[in-house]
Amino acid sequence: MVKIINPDGMVSIASEVFMNIVGDAATRCFGVKGMVALQKENGLYQLLRRESMGKGVSVTFDEDGTVSVALHIAVDQGVNLAAVGRSIINEVTYKVAQATGVPVKRVDVYVDGVLID
């Protein structure tokens, strides 16, 4: 949880808020099929539905007041993975900073699957 203190009071932002913002920003990028989560029982990856996409995201709150994000995605076949990764990093960094006012230190994107239509 991040706490922002100003002269008028304090605002606390839960990690789930960051996870939902990150998941939404990432899935809106071209070539991204969705967020992915690892199933602990069998070690297989599962494509998440829109309402639970935050499960494919982990957020770390750094001591310097920034956040670091790691997200797991599945992409369309044939997309340029480097371009998709750059797009996600830019979009997530912008959306998190815009919505929360908290700067993003690092965004790690893990491509866990390629889906064929």
Predicted confidence (pLDDT) per residue in 35-87, tens digit:
887 665 655 566 766 666 677 899 999 888 899 999 999 999 999 999 999 99
Cα distance between residue 110 and residue 117, in whole Å:
21
Tokens of 34: 């969705």
How far from the centroid of its chain's Cα atoms is residue 87's Cα? 12
* pTM to 2 decimal places: 0.85
- Give the C-alpha distances (Å, rounded to integers) separating 92 from 3, 28, 42, 109, 116: 20, 10, 30, 10, 25
3-state secondary structure of 34: strand
Tokens of 53: 């996409």
- For 2-6, 8-12, 51-55, 112-116, which range has the lowest pLDDT when averaged over its residues? 51-55
